[in-house]
Amino acid sequence: MHDEGEGTPEDLRQAILWYRKAADQGHAAAQYTQYILGNMYHFGKGVPKDYSQAAFWYGKAAEQGHADAQYRLGDSYRFGEGVPKDHGQAVFWYRKAAEQGDAAAQYRLGDSYRFGEGLPKDYSKAVFWYRKAVFWYRKAADAQYRLGDRYYLGDGVPEDKSQAAFWYRKAAEQGHAAAQYWLGYMYAKGEGVPQDDSQTAFWWRKVAEQGDADAQYWLGYRYYLGDGVPEDKSQAAFWYRKAAEQGDADVQCHLGGMYSKGEGVPKDYVRAYAWLNLALAAEQNYRHRLAEERRNTLQERINTLQEHMTVDQIAEAQKLSHELAERIGGGPLSLPLPFEPPQYQSNGSGFIVSDEGHIVTNYHVIENCDRVTVNLAGKMYDAEVATTNADNDLALLKAERALGTPAAFSRSERAPLNSDVTVAGFHVTVAGFPLQGILSKTLNVTRGSVSSEHGLGGNSGKFQLTAPIQGGNSGGPVLDKAGNVVGVVVSKLADKDAQNVNFAIKSQRVRGFLDLNGVSYRRQSSDSEREPERIASMAKGFTVAIYCYHWRRAGCIGRGDAMPSAFSGAALSRMRSPTPHTSFSRRRQNRVVCKDLAFLSQRSLNRAPWTRWS
Question: Which residues on adjacent β-strands are paired with residue 547?
Answer: 347, 373
Whole-number pLDDT of residue 485: 95
List CB contacts of 171: < 8 A, sequence separation 6 or more. 141, 142, 144, 145, 148, 178, 179
DSSP result, 279-320? HHHHHTT--SHHHHHHHHHHHHHHHHHHTTS-HHHHHHHHHH
Alpha helices in 269-425 (DSSP H): 269-283, 289-306, 311-328, 363-366
What 3-state DSSP class applies to 596? coil
10-residue block means of pLDDT along the chain (614 residues)? Answer: 39 53 52 78 83 88 87 91 92 89 84 89 85 61 83 84 90 87 90 91 88 85 86 91 84 88 92 87 60 75 83 85 78 45 77 95 90 88 91 93 91 50 78 79 90 86 91 93 94 75 93 94 90 93 90 37 25 24 33 37 33 30
What's at 190, amino acid-wise? G
Q: Between 30-43 and 51-63, two packed helices, what is the crossing angle to 10 degrees?
A: 160
Residue 513: name the closest of 367, 372, 352, 392 by CA.
Answer: 392
Q: Residue 225's CB: how many other CB atoms inside 10 A?
A: 15
**What gap in Å lies between CA 102 and CA 67, rounded to an integer?**
7
How far is the CA of 322 from the CAs of 226, 253, 316, 554, 559, in angstroms? 34, 16, 10, 16, 11
pTM of the model: 0.44
Residues paired with 503 in a beta bridge: 464, 491
Q: How far apart are CA 212 and CA 57, in angstroms?
A: 39
Environment class of 11 (CB within 10 Å of its CB; exposed 0-12, middle 13-18, buried 19+) = middle
CA distance 265 to 393: 43
Instruction: Quote the CA–CA distance of 40 and 56 in Å, as a whole number.
Output: 12
Angle between helices 123-136 and 141-153 (to 10 degrees): 150
pLDDT of residue 369: 85
Q: At what angle do helices 249-261 and 269-283 cross, to 10 degrees?
A: 160
| Distances from the Cα of 34 to the Cα of 14, 58, 263, 392, angstroms | 15, 7, 62, 97
Q: How far is CA 470 from CA 78, 118, 196, 492, 531, in A?
A: 81, 85, 75, 8, 24
Strand partners, 82: none
Q: What's CA 17's distance to the chain center, in Å?
A: 56
String of b and e for 469-485 (b: at least 16 CB within 10 Å)? bbebbbbbbbbbbbbbb
Which residues are registered as beta bridge partners of 492?
A: 502
